[in-house]
Structure 1
């Protein structure tokens, strides 16, 4: 097993396309295929399912993603130490996010944290949920933003809530629903933008199912997550149901409360903060930013 094999594996896992992976690692497509085949032979498992039209990770491949990523990180850190390019006094902080919505909360807290901890060395990772959880479990990242499911099997990892978010109707200002100050489920009719099952918080998926069952008329547009949903709403494609965090609202959309909708918890999962004062301070700043509070009012 070598770093070239791991780089090729992670590139294919990211793009699920051998041609794009080859462009990313700057070698030929046949060379990428050879590296993947050699890695699979060494590990004794199939990492990808390949057809003429698609490439998908196998269960073993998905499980190997965080390990491959961590090995490459360790190799890079070792090279940096040997060449004297890494400050041993730096304060690392590796943060995982599932989407751009979560990443948008980070810049201001990180800016303020750097003023207090000049040696701060942050790294932000953007990965699908399952892979991100594996990275947290392996301690390849220190913390992970996301929604917390009360129905999910209790995890040994701590969780800190940043905000309690009601599920609301969101639509463009030209949508007839935008004229309402509040809505009932029976009033949610017309075109709807829905998140593909298993791609959003459980409470949102449940709420979508309830609305889809009762609604009358209109088309349903499915997306893979937050970015796709917001894009279609801004383009005027109906309404959707999303958890509402006022500090993260999009200015050209309307957010309307819906009677009977449950709320969801948004926060940070982590493994331990023991001895990491900059991690604890970051959570304080992040919580203040998410809740729209004054972040510079004191430590």
Structure 2
């Protein structure tokens, strides 16, 4: 097994071809340097230097060994740098789950910030609905999640990172399109495309709570998991729906959106992570995300 200290002494001497200068370069005296090189030659079973009086030159074996020895020292230095960066969260892999709504602006902007601040962290993305992210945490297939705040049997920490208003989605030509704003009571007995109770639990619970508080009876025509499919059914005239304002980014033709006149709490987006998580790269990415969203909140709209 090669001793890196001995290899370092050899490379210095082979570069300088002068033991005294090589020793000074390594902040040591000449006798210990010579001893280390002698031990290396003994371990290798070859002579690396020809010693002629006070001058030295490399043997054929020495010239061959110098190339590999230099690469070895470079690799050792690179390994030290890598492990130190990893311990500080500067390198590594982070698996991020996100909902479709988070994919419009939140995730792209965060990845752009991470590319600048943490360029050596490899981010792997998984587009998953919120309840699927909970299962992914349970299976240990994601490290961070950007999801609607839903209950979980997992030990998860959650931090609010964004809010958006709710809007009413109407088929073009619907009588309610004549209004600039929609009061919830106007949705009474309207055919309604509702988020599924399990897969869309966050919005299902939120909307059913809103309707109950306003004594609104909705006629649920379909239960659907995903916002794009809900919009497709609205466009087909099969009902109306309430969605987060980001759904307008789908640009469905023949679908009109109207704000809600009543005071309604916004839809929330949270960042989640496991409480027992100890990956330095994940911690560094999470702290960057917290700072990024705090700065964005301070900056305000636009």
Shorter-chain TM-score: what band?
0.5 to 0.7
1:282 aligned counterpart, secondary structure:
helix
Provide the TM-score with structure 2 as the length reference: 0.53
> What are the within-5 Å matches in structure 2 for residues 206-221 of structure 1?
206-207=209-210, 214-215=217-218, 220-221=221-222
Deviation at 1:236, TM superposition (A): 4.7
Match of residue 198 from structure 1: 198
Contact 2:160–2:271 (CA<8 Å) still a contact in 1? yes
Deviation at 1:223, TM superposition (A): 1.7
Distance verdict in 2 for CA 1:121–1:256, change over 3 Å = same
Distance verdict in 2 for CA 1:159–1:168, change over 3 Å = same
Match of residue 277 from structure 1: 284
Contact 2:184–2:211 (CA<8 Å) still a contact in 1? no
Provide the TM-score with structure 1 as the length reference: 0.54
Match of residue 257 from structure 1: 260
Deviation at 1:208, TM superposition (A): 6.1
Cα distance in 2 between the residues matched to 1:91 and 1:177: 52
Contact 2:129–2:147 (CA<8 Å) still a contact in 1? no
Match of residue 67 from structure 2: none
Cα distance in 1 between the residues matched to 2:210 and 2:120: 44
CA RMSD of aligned residues (A): 3.8
2:148 aligned counterpart, secondary structure:
strand
Cα distance in 2 between the residues matched to 1:127 and 1:112: 22
1:198 aligned counterpart, secondary structure:
coil
> What are the within-5 Å matches in structure 2 for residues 276-295 of structure 1?
276-285=283-292, 293=300
Cα distance in 2 between the residues matched to 1:291 and 1:175: 39
Cα distance in 1 between the residues matched to 2:246 and 2:297: 7
1:184 aligns with 2:187: no
Cα distance in 2 between the residues matched to 1:242 and 1:290: 22
**Which residues of structure 1 form unaligned runs of 5+?**
1-86
Cα distance in 2 between the residues matched to 1:291 and 1:257: 26
Match of residue 160 from structure 2: 161
Cα distance in 1 between the residues matched to 2:297 and 2:177: 25
1:228 aligns with 2:235: no
Cα distance in 2 between the residues matched to 1:294 and 1:212: 34
Deviation at 1:110, TM superposition (A): 0.7
Match of residue 120 from structure 1: 121
Judging by fraction of residues, say which structure has more helix. Answer: 2
Contact 1:167–1:241 (CA<8 Å) still a contact in 2? yes
Cα distance in 2 between the residues matched to 1:294 and 1:257: 20
2:116 aligned counterpart, secondary structure:
helix
Match of residue 266 from structure 1: 269
Cα distance in 1 between the residues matched to 2:168 and 2:233: 14
Cα distance in 2 between the residues matched to 1:208 and 1:250: 26
1:278 aligned counterpart, secondary structure:
helix
Deviation at 1:113, TM superposition (A): 1.6
Cα distance in 1 between the residues matched to 2:194 and 2:250: 18
**Which residues of structure 2 form unaligned runs of 5+?**
1-81
Distance verdict in 2 for CA 1:103–1:207, change over 3 Å = same
Deviation at 1:193, TM superposition (A): 1.7
Q: Report the more deviating stretch, 174-183 or 201-210.
A: 201-210
Cα distance in 2 between the residues matched to 1:170 and 1:290: 27
1:124 aligned counterpart, secondary structure:
strand
